[in-house]
Chains A and B, each alone.
Chain A
C-alpha cells in the first residue's frame, strides 16, 4: 500500500449517480468486467447507460496506449440520458489505461490502479517518466492501489488454471473489488460465470475465486473502507431489459417481419460495428428469419434485393464503407421500386477511419450519395432501445411506399446499452401489406408501374404469381407498363414521380415536438445517437438559467412537415453533430435558417457540457 493514499474509514456514502470506467489492455477483459457490472446494476434496479470504447485491433501491442480498451457505466437512482461526461471512478489495469483515460476523470475522482502493472517496462510503454502512483502527479485525484495480479495468482492457485491463463482472471478481481465498493449484488456475476464457463471448470472456478478475492479485499483492507450506495432508480413501472442498439435493431426487424406477415431476409457482409446485427438475427432462425453472409458488401445488398423482388422483408446491414459499395444497388432498388432496408451503423471515416469509434458523418451519403436523382427515406435511431421502434418504422415505410429506406445508427448505439421498458409485444402496430395477385389493368393486363393514389407505391407482384409476369430493371421505366422507355418526357415524369412519392411520406409521419420552456430563444436540433447528451445539455442549460428548446429528428428525409415553422420561431438554431455540420447544411438549404453548428469528430459522443457551454455562449452573445 502507498502510505499517502490511505484514507480513513468512512460510512457508506450515498450517491444519486456515479460513473465508473473500467480500463485496461484490450486483452484484459475490460468489456467483460464492465458488462457484468452493468448487468448487476440493472438487476439492482439502477438506471444506467454504457459506453464501450475499444481499439480497432483485436490485440494491439500489450501495455501501449493504442491497446487500451475501456467500458464506462453510468448508474443512477434517476432516469439518466447519457453514459456520463466524466468518470467518477477509473479502474486502471496498467499505466497506459491510466494515461489514456485520465483526462476524462472528474477532478477529485477515484483512481483504482493495479499496482502490479506499474513496473518500469509498462511505465515506459505508456510514456511515463516516473510512476504516477508515487510521484504526486495525481494529487488532484483520490488514488487507491491494489496488487491485483499478485492477489489473483494467490486466489486462483488450486483451481487448476495454469501459466499465462492465471492472470486472465484479474478482471474478475477488479470487478469484485468495485462490486464491493458499490454494494452490488453478486448473484448475477456468479450465475453468469457458471453459465458461461461451467461451475466445475478450472476457468469458471478461477473467475469465481478472483471475484471473491477482489470483493473480500475491499471488505478487509483498511484502505477501502469507503463504500458507496446508489439506490435503485424510480423508473416508470414496467418490465425492463438491458439492450444494445444492435440487439434492439435485430429484434425490431424480426418484429417488423412478424407484423407484416413476411419472412425476414438479412443479407450482409461482416463489418464493424454492424456485424452483431447479422449475428443476432442468425441465431433467430426459429422465427423463420433467413440470414445470408455474402461474399462482399455488394452481394449482401444484391441478395437482399433479390429476396425483396421475391416477396420477403429484405434488409442489409453495414457501415459507411459498405454503404459506398451498396449505393449502385440502392439506386436499382429505387428504380425497380422494391422495399429494402439498408442499416448503416456509422463509424468514424473516411475510408477505414476509426472503425470502432462513433461518428455521424454518413448523413450526406445517406441523403444524396447515389447516382442520378435518387431520393430515399432516411431515419435515425436516437438510443439503443429506440432502434427497435425505428426498425419497425423503417419497415413500415419501405413496404407501404415500395422504396428502399436507409436507417442510420452508429457505433455508440450499436454497443452501448440501456434499460428498455418493454412494449406490449402482442400489441405492436401491424404493417398492412399484401402481395398483388390480380391484374390491375383492363382485359387482365397487369401494370407493374401503376401507382397507388395515396402513397404513390407500385404494386408488389412477386415471381410465382400467375398472370402477373413482368420484367423490371435499371433502365428507365415507362409509366404503367414498366417497359423500357427512352422517352425524354417520360423520364422527367418518372423522376418527379419517384421524388414525389418519397416527399409525400411527410404526410405519414409525426410532426416534431419541441421540448423545453416557452421562453427559450435558442433551439437545439439534433438527430441520431446524440439525443441523450444533447437533451441533458439542454436541460442543464435551462436549469442554469439559460432556457433552451430541443427538437430531436427521427426522420431525416423527408423532414417532418412542421419543421420549417418550428425553426422560424427561434432567434438562434444550434445543431450539434458528430460531423462537420451536415444536417446544418441541409436545414440551411431547405429552410434558409442561419443554423449554427456544434461539431465534434473525436470518435466520441457529445458530453452534456459540450452542449450546455455552447448554449450559454450563444445566449450571452448579444450580437
Chain B
C-alpha cells in the first residue's frame, strides 16, 4: 500500500454515531473503504457531502464525519444535483441502492447521468430490498422467490451497468464490496473523474440475500469468474489467464485464449467515444451468474452540467453587466404619471 503521508486517518471521517447495519453486512466493508479512501486524499472533511435516499445503504451519511443528508427514497441524485450546482467546490457523493436508485429513483439516476452533473454515485447492489425485510428488487434475478413473490418474481431485472451506459454516462464502473483493493481503485477513479461517476458495488446482504455474489467472492469460484477490466490490456481471466473475451457483431463472447490466439482477444479501452464495446462487455453477465467483468467500463470526457452552468452565467454577466431590477423594468417599458 501507499506510504505517502496524509493529513488524515480513517477515524477523522468516522462520525460519533453507532453504526447499525446487521452484523456481517457488506455495507461495513464499503464504509471502511470509503472512509479509508477519503483519509488518503488531501481534501478537508467539509468539502465532502454525502447524499443518500432511503434503504439500508442510505444510512451511510450518518456514519460519515462530513456534511450529509439522508433524504427521500429515490431522490438523492436530484438533491445532490442541487448541492453540486450550488457549490462546485464540493465533492458530492450519492449513496444509493438497487431499490432506491433503480426502482423509485430510476428517473433521477438516468437524468443525472445524461447531464453529467459532477457527482460520484455509489450504487450498492444487493439484489434485494433489505430495509423492508426481503422483497425482490429491480436487480433480482427473474423467478426469485421472496415474500412478495412466493411463486417467483415475474420481473426481468436491470443490468445497472448497461442502464448507465444507455443513459449517456461518462464514467461507469463495477466493483465488489469484499475486494477492497479493487473497490478503492474504483473510488479513486470515480473521485478523479469530472462529471457523474457511476460505480455499481456488488454488496452482500447476508440476512435476506446471502451469497448472491458467491461466484465472485467464494475462494473456489472467484478466479474463474472475475473478469478484471484493465485499460490497455487484453481482457483475459481465469487462474492462468486462460480465458478471454472477444467482441464482434454478436457482442462480447467468452472464449479460450488458446482457441483464438491472444491477438484476437479484445483490448480494453474505456475511453472509446462509442459506448458500444462497453455495452457489449456489460452484457456478458446479466447479474453475476457466470464470468462477470469488474472495473471501469467507460471513462470519457464531457463538460459537466455544473461547468456549463457556470460558464453560461459568466457569459450572461459579461454580455449584460447591469443586473439591476430598475434596468430590467426600464427595458420592459415604463411610463410616468405626473
Contact = CB atoms under 8 A, between A and B. Distances in A.
Interface stretch (A5-13, A18-26, A299-307): A299-307
B324 interface: yes
Contact of B71 (A425, A426, A474): A474
Contact of B317 (A288, A307, A336, A471): A288
Most buried by A among B46, B336, B338: B46
B316 A285 contact: yes
B4 interface: no
A242 B335 CA distance: 9
A464 B68 contact: no
Interface stretch (A91-99, A232-240, A397-405): A232-240
Interface in B57-77: 61-62, 64-72, 75
Q: Which of B78, B82, B111 has the most CB of A within 10 A?
A: B82
A238 B329 CA distance: 14
B69 A336 contact: yes
B108 A302 contact: yes
A302 B44 CA distance: 26
A249 to B, nearest CB: 13
Contacts of A45: 335, 337
Contacts of A320: none
Given A298-B78, A303-B78, A483-B17, A288 B323 contact: yes
B107 A286 contact: no
Interface of A, secondary structure class, is mixed
A426 B326 contact: yes
Nearest to B78: A302
A39 B335 CA distance: 11
Contact of B75 (A43, A243, A302): A302
Nearest to A461: B67
B320 interface: yes
B85 A292 contact: yes
A299 B114 CA distance: 15
A332 B309 contact: no
Interface residues of A, number: 68
B172 interface: no
Contacts of B78: 294-295, 298-299, 302-303, 306
B87 interface: yes
A433 interface: no
Contact of B46 (A284, A336, A463): A463
B181 interface: no
B147 interface: no
A493 interface: no
A239 B333 contact: no
Interface in A271-330: 284-288, 290, 292, 294-296, 298-299, 302-312, 314, 328-329
Interface centre among B107, B332, B333 (most CB of A within 10 A): B333
A464 B89 contact: yes
A42 B70 CA distance: 52
A471 B71 contact: no
Nearest to B44: A466
Contacts of B61: 471, 473
A469 interface: yes
Contacts of A235: 337
B86 interface: yes
B207 interface: no
A285 B319 CA distance: 10
A470 interface: yes
B51 A306 contact: yes
Contacts of A484: 17, 62
A254 interface: yes
A425 to B, nearest CB: 4
A42 B333 CA distance: 10
Contacts of B321: 286
A306 B117 CA distance: 13
Contacts of B75: 298-299, 302, 329
Nearest to A191: B333
A512 B170 CA distance: 57
Contact of B337 (A238, A288, A292): A238
A254 B108 CA distance: 27
Contact of B82 (A265, A298, A483): A265
Interface in B79-113: 79-87, 89-90, 107-108, 111
Contacts of A247: 332
B67 A296 contact: no
Given A463-B67, A463-B83, A473 B62 contact: yes
14 contacts: A241-B333, A285-B316, A286-B316, A295-B107, A298-B78, A299-B107, A306-B80, A306-B85, A307-B86, A329-B75, A422-B329, A469-B67, A471-B67, A473-B68
Interface of B: 15, 17, 44-47, 49-51, 54, 61-62, 64-72, 75, 78-87, 89-90, 107-108, 111, 309, 312-313, 316-317, 319-326, 328-329, 332-338
